[in-house]
């Protein structure tokens, strides 16, 4: 009987047909009384990994550590990486973003120096207003931007909700 089924599969599906060993296995299953084509549930595996409790658990883990990897979440909760990916992308509508630019705050000394220089320019402007009549006086925001190159892109990726941009980290070291 499996031989006949296999030949029919070859006629219909050609090279993309199911292997003979698979057809033989399924024929034996149906001979023993199996009536469903669905897989039997695995022992120890949750029947549905997308329960509201598991979704909430994944969400809490990601909010606690936005740089957590999918495999770490899967291992902690005890579900597959595919289910974690589905929950993150489809249920929670989250994605992982990476940024390379990090804003850098001025130190107290740098702010003091900028303030002194600005006061000197303002004082000079007030003394010699006639010299500045035909010139433009330019002011600038003193926030510095520093290009930070991490060892790998993975170090900067973090989970964010849809429509949100990656959070910016400030650095206060010179």
At 31-77, the pLDDT tens digits run: 999 888 776 665 555 556 688 899 999 999 998 888 888 999 999 99
pTM for the whole thing?
Answer: 0.42
Domain total in the chain: 2
Q: What is the pLDDT of residues 106-116, one digit of tens each?
A: 778 888 888 89
Place of tokens 């010139």: 135
- Note the pLDDT of residue 99: 60
Q: Is residue 62 part of a domain?
A: no
Output phi, psi for 131, to 5 deg. Answer: -70, -25
Residue 87 falls within a domain, yes or no? no
Which of 23 and 138 is assigned the larger pLDDT?
A: 23
Q: Is the pLDDT of residue 172 over 50?
A: no
Q: Rounded to the nearest 5 degrees, what angle is found at the Cα of 33, between the Cα atoms of 32 and 37? A: 110
Range of the domain at 28: 1-40
Q: How confident is residue 137, by pLDDT bands cut at 50, 70 and 90? A: low
**6: in domain:** yes
Q: How many other C-beta atoms lie within 10 A of the C-beta of residue 2?
A: 16
Let me know if residue 117 belongs to a domain: yes
CA–CA dist 16, 116 (Å, integer):
78
* Residue pair 147/101 in contact by the 8 Å Cβ criterion: yes
On whether residue 76 sits in a domain, the answer given is no
> What are the tokens at 129?
């207003």
- The pLDDT value recorded for residue 60 is 93
Is 3 within a domain?
A: yes
Q: Are 67 and 166 in contact (CB under 8 A)?
A: no
pLDDT at 174: 46
Residue 31 lies inside a defined structural domain of this protein: yes
In a domain? residue 12:
yes
Closest CA to 172 of 103, 112, 98, 99: 103
């Amino acid at each position: 009987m499996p031989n006949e089924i296999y030949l029919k599969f070859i006629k219909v599906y050609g090279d993309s047909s199911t292997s003979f060993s698979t057809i033989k296995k399924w024929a034996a299953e149906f001979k023993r009384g199996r009536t469903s084509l669905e897989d039997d549930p695995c022992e120890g595996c949750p029947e549905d990994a997308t329960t509201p409790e598991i979704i909430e658990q994944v969400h809490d883990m990601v909010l606690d550590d936005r740089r957590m990897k999918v495999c770490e979440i899967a291992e902690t909760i005890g579900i597959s990486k595919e289910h974690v990916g589905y929950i993150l992308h489809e249920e929670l509508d989250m994605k992982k973003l990476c940024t390379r630019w990090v804003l850098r705050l001025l130190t107290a000394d740098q702010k003091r120096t900028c303030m002194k220089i600005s006061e000197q320019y303002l004082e000079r402007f007030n003394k010699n207003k006639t010299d500045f009549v035909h010139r433009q006086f330019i002011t600038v925001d003193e926030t510095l931007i520093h290009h930070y190159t991490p060892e790998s892109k993975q170090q900067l990726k973090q989970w964010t909700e849809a429509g949100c941009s990656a959070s910016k980290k400030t650095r206060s070291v010179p």
